[in-house]
Amino acid sequence: RAVEHDLRHAVERGEFKVVYQPQLAVDSGIVVGFEALLRWRHPERGTVPPDLFIPIAEETGSILPIGEWVLRETCREAATWEKPLRIAVNVSAVQLHAPGFAELVHEVLFTTGLAPARLELEITETALVRDPVRALTALRRVKAMGVRIAMDDFGTGYSSLSNLRAFPFDKIKIDRSFIRAVDVNRETAAIMRAVLGLGRGLGLPVLAEGVETSAELAFLGAENCHEAQGYLLGRPGPMAHFIEHTREAP
């Protein structure tokens, strides 16, 4: 496929960029960090969404140089921010299982000078199932450096609960399918309360993804959800955009 070939050269051609989406503390409304989201500007196709190219990059292995580029780019950028906010970076299963992943994280932190505690790696449950022993080893090694680990898309995997127990997560990111209409849907609200209780019991902060309405945000506030992210609070954008709007500037 043409996309495969183009992906292999996209890093060196400078076709990728990172956009940032703010993550806010629900009680204070203060921005506490940003999630880095990859965008590919293809010379003919225009902007290709990650849902489309990341699976291909994982299949062909080009996710390794791409993932390394994202990590380096975001750590370098975050190290220049005035406020020491957190930067969350998505890590694919292929990266997590590749030999040398922990060494790469260590080297990027050293080279960019970013404090390890400011880096959070977002790992989906599906990234853990391929080779759980190997995944656990890699996660323990990055955690030992002081890097934080968030479980991404919580609730959509096969064994969310056992994964929470088996892996050293620092945060639960609840999938946006559980936030939509949480203020009016009784089942969704019951699930959200249960997950928030789970987070409290385990001592893990919970972030709600995909918050789009103020009624959803009000529900999260009333139920003491720690953090939120979504179009209501800020769309993914270039860092320059946040620096101009001083309220969110890092």
Stretch touching ligand G by CB under 6 A, among 5-13, 109-117, 191-199, 229-237: 229-237
Q: Does 153 bind Na ion (CB under 5 A)?
A: yes
* CA–CA distance, 230 with 104 (Å, rounded to integer): 30
Residue 216 near which of Mn ion, ligand G, Na ion, none (CB within 5-8 Å, type-dependent): none
Q: Which phi and psi angles does 64 have, rounded to 5°? A: -65, -55
Side-chain half-sphere CA neighbours of 95 within 13 A: 27
CA distance 43 to 55: 20
120 binds Na ion, rule: CB under 5 A? no
227 binds Na ion, rule: CB under 5 A = no
Tell me: does residue 68 bind Na ion (CB under 5 A): no
Residue nearest to Na ion (CB): 153
DSSP state of 107: H
Binding status of residue 125 toward Na ion by CB under 5 A: no
HSE value, Cβ hemisphere, 13 Å, CA-based, for 210:
13
CA distance 145 to 105: 9
Using CB under 5 A, pick the residue from 73, 77, 125, 152 that binds Na ion: 152
Residue 199 interacts with which of Na ion, Mn ion, ligand G, none, CB < 5 to 8 Å by class: none
Shortest CB 222 distance to ligand G, Å: 19
Give buried/exposed letters for 67-91 (b at 16+ CB in 10 A, else e).
Answer: bbbbbebbbebbbebeeebbbbbbb
Least distance in angstroms from the C-beta of 153 to Na ion: 4
User: Under the rule (CB under 6 A), what is the footprint of ligand G?
Assistant: 21, 37-38, 49-51, 54, 67, 70, 90, 92, 122, 152-153, 176, 209-212, 230-231, 236
